[in-house]
Amino acid sequence: MTQVRVLVTGAGGFIGHHLTSYLVERGYWVRGVDLKQPEYAATNAHEFLQLDLRRWENTLRATEGIDEVYNLAANMGGIGFIESHKAEIMHDSALINLHMLEAARANGAARFLFSSSACVYPGYLQDSPDVTPLKEEDAYPADAEDGYGWEKLFMERQCRHYREDYGLQTRIVRFHNVYGELGTYDGGREKSPAAICRKVALAEPGGTIEIWGDGQQTRSYCYIADCVEGIHRLMRSDYVDPLNLGTDRLVTINELVDIVAKIAGKQLHRTHDLSKPQGVRGRNSDNTRLREVLKWEPATSLEKGLSRTYRWIEGELQKAGRLPQLVTAGRA
């Protein structure tokens, strides 16, 4: 049987790195492409190219000889970054995605997965912490998150047109707050679970950590191992419309802090900075269609996923000499 040749763009990033490992373990030949090498662990891609995919000639090189494309490359980050870099995000990600779609078509790839986001959903459906879970069709009438969300929604439609006009089999996944080991946890691009894990790890027992917003905003979170399995299942399916990939367990940010503090074994106080970006008031995934289409859904509990994530971030901070001695004393 001929080995399927796969391209993972964004393979130097969080989800792309995990997806590369997942696909290699399942017998695919994998080419990884990114501007940078993975930050925390070496890639096991069969081939890794450092390329700027905003440039057309580089997308042609990346897709040459490839059967299937998992397009995860994007300029993105946590809420602080996407709120303050809208022009940069839309410019870079639109160039990457438009070039990647066309290059995949030009080089004869059979399938193309586009990584979209729950940020495509309208703000008017997410103005309460007790949010109604978002169904795929709720994306219209459109009112996507400014900047990042609008680019994602536009590219979802372009994927549909490439499928209808050119026969490129596109798949569209809408991620809902993916977290886990090997993800960015500092520097401004980190998502809320990683930021909270870092803050808790750095805090002295009985100390205080700062939370952006009042802490009553709500989210659902998907662990990375479930995410990459869902991506692969969707790529192997015949489903062509956008599909949510997340969990449907809604928690407040304050509850998220409590879970992480319990994992760390610390009693902590919280302050809330209402001047910082906090995104929509509430966001949750409706997994009805995910269960119908894939006969599957994410199964890792938030407590288990956060425990693995916290211990990894704690270990990274310890290696960097950033943890208070009181916290690290006596630990193996």
The residues carrying an active-site annotation are 148
Q: Which amino acid is at 18?
A: H
In terms of DSSP H, where are the helices of 143-250?
Answer: 148-166, 192-202, 224-236
- Based on its alpha-carbon atoms, the radius of gyration of the chain, rounded to whole angstroms, reads 20
Q: Which amino acid is at 142?
A: A
SS3 content of the chain, % helix, strand, coil (to 5): 40, 15, 40
Per-residue DSSP letter, 277: -
* 212 within 8 A of 278, measured Cβ to Cβ: yes
Q: Cis peptide leading into 193, omega within 30 of 0?
A: no
Q: Per DSSP, what are the bridge partners of residue 71?
A: 9, 114
Q: Which residues contact 101 (CB under 8 A, 6 or more apart)?
A: 71, 112, 114, 155, 158, 159, 162, 168, 170
Per-residue DSSP letter, 34: E
Cα–Cα distance, 57 to 63 (Å, whole number): 10
SS3 220: coil
Cα–Cα distance, 219 to 177 (Å, whole number): 8
In terms of DSSP H, where are the helices of 111-188?
Answer: 148-166
Q: What CA–CA distances, in Å, run from 227 to 174, 175, 326?
A: 11, 8, 35
Residue with tokens 């960015």: 184
Q: Which amino acid is at 117?
A: S
